Amino acid sequence: MKQPIFFRPVFQERIWGGTKLRDVYGYDIPSERTGECWAISAHPNGQSVVRSGEWAGMPLGQLWQEHRELFGYYDSDRFPLLTKIIDANDDLSVQVHPDDEYASNYEKGEWGKTECWYVIDCEEGAEIIFGHRAKTKEELADMMKREQWDQLLQRVQVKAGDFFYVPSGTVHALCSGLLILETQQNSDTTYRVYDYGRRDRDGKPRELHVEKALDVITVPHVQQSIEPTVVKMAGATVTTWVRSDYFTVSKWEVHPRLEMERIQPFLLLSVMAGTGAIGTEEGEWPLQKGDHLLLPYQFGPFRITGHVQLIASQP
């Protein structure tokens, strides 16, 4: 298989969602409260589908099960990653994710969730919640019980182009005015810590998961330090932000040409801006803003041409 596999995303409506997925990327969103584009996903709660070619219409999960050769027979019982674009039109709940061991024990075999964020765009003064100030579990529980959120939660101002690594156990939240690309483990397990007293469509308070959150929150908070590796070439710049046990994530800025050798076991690409093409000795395929694709095992050497910015990830 020497062709890229393009995907059609699936969209998730959220109480905090908006219209940027349509306004910025031209997606056909289901409503004006669309919060998430699950761009490359094999999770049962929302699977992206092959857009064209030999497997057109096939969900990624089925492709993974039936054609493991495309993924280099990667050693995993499920597709390992999930790529999202998130429109935080309003504040997301303050939340935390479990690690693999806790999720396996308490979430019916679901994986834990370590993730990372690339800030595509944001309003001036936009913030995230990232970490807490409690020194012990007892202090954490007491401050949560007393709802001392301003004293407990750490806020960080952000700007377009920022990158954050969010290991399981990290208290976090995207705040209003953010458009981000998220790379994460293939999991949909989230424990809400605080939700600003919001109610769901039926007028009921949204569910919190305080006991489980207290089980998994890392105390004290561990500050994450990002030390990117930047490689400048004649026609491109590649910035690698993170190489972890779960994923490697990079930004590729192509002006006007990037040549890459074969990357194993497979590679996920999301086009953040611009237009271009990806080509091999066997053909060339156009790229435009909002495209999401997978380069399968043994795709071989390839080139990307044009003026285009991509986020690349691999397990």
Task: Tell me which residues are annotated as active site.
Answer: 192
Residue type, 138: E
Q: Which of 118, 103, 113 is nearest to 184 (CA)?
A: 113
Spell out the residues 6+ positions from residue 225 whose beta carbon is closer than 8 angstroms to its own: none
Spell out the residues 6+ positions from residue 191 whose beta carbon is closer than 8 angstroms to its own: 95, 96, 97, 98, 209, 212, 213, 216
Q: Which helix (H) or strand (E) holds 242?
A: strand 236-243
Q: What are phi and psi of 106, to 5 degrees?
A: -120, -5
Structure tokens at 66: 């039936």
**DSSP β-ladder status, 236-243 and 229-232:** antiparallel
Q: Which helix (H) or strand (E) holds 311?
A: strand 302-314
How far is 268 from 247, CA to CA, in rounded Å?
A: 11
Q: Which residue has the tokens 């497979």?
A: 266
Q: What are phi and psi of 152, to 5 degrees?
A: -80, -45
Structure tokens at 266: 């497979």
Structure tokens at 152: 């407990």
Residue pair 308/247 in contact (Cβ under 8 Å)? The answer is no
How far is 205 from 298, CA to CA, in rounded Å?
A: 50
Q: Which residue has the tokens 């995230």?
A: 128
